[in-house]
């Protein structure tokens, strides 16, 4: 009988935790959302509205929308992957690209997106998030 109560209690706790900590509670946005090619620099704003800490690295994918699908832009450098953390209930900013390093990969106006697939949340597990921005001349 104790075993049944334990399983029932564990299942209820899991369901409550799963309902309260949805992926929508981790928000990633590019700032600014419209970027000029002449003054190009972007940052990611990562908001952690969960009860658990959010761990991630500096690595990201950059993609360009070609009116049909997303094309991944290949970098010719490697990332020095540093472990970063957003505490539960906090928001942090991560500067990604600026100046010449940015202009080298963003070569034409249009819609771009940043994809980060290395998020690890104490309450949600692994997450992949994306954020779009517009590049203008």
Lowest mean pLDDT among 11-25, 45-59, 64-78, 95-109: 11-25
pLDDT band at 5 (very low <50, low <70, confident <90, very high): very low
- pLDDT category at 13 given cuts 50, 70, 90 is very low
For the chain, the straight-line distance linking the first and the last C-alpha, in angstroms and rounded, comes to 70
pLDDT at 44 over 80: yes
The predicted pLDDT at position 89 comes to 93
What is this structure's pTM? 0.73
At the top level of CATH, the class of 22-136 is mainly beta
In the structure, what pLDDT confidence band is assigned to residue 45 with cuts at 50, 70 and 90?
very high
pLDDT at residue 23, as a whole number: 53
Q: Give the closest residue to 117 by CA, choosing from 79, 65, 88.
A: 79
pLDDT of 46 > 80? The answer is yes
pLDDT over 70, % of the chain = 73
Domain locations along the chain: 22-136
Look at residue 15 in the predicted model and tell me its pLDDT.
36
């Amino acid at each position: 009988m104790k075993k049944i109560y334990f399983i029932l209690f564990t299942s209820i706790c899991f369901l409550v935790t799963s309902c309260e900590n949805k992926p929508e509670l981790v928000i990633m946005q590019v700032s600014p959302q419209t970027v000029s090619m002449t003054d190009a620099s972007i940052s990611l704003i990562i908001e952690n509205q969960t009860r658990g800490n959010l761990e991630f690295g500096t690595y990201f994918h950059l993609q360009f929308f070609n009116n049909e699908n997303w094309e991944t832009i290949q970098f010719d450098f490697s990332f020095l992957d540093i472990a970063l953390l957003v505490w539960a209930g906090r928001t942090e900013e991560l500067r990604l690209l600026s100046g010449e390093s940015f202009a080298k990969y963003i070569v034409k106006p249009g819609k771009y997106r940043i994809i980060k697939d290395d998020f690890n949340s104490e309450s949600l597990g692994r997450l992949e998030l994306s954020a779009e921005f517009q590049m203008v001349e």
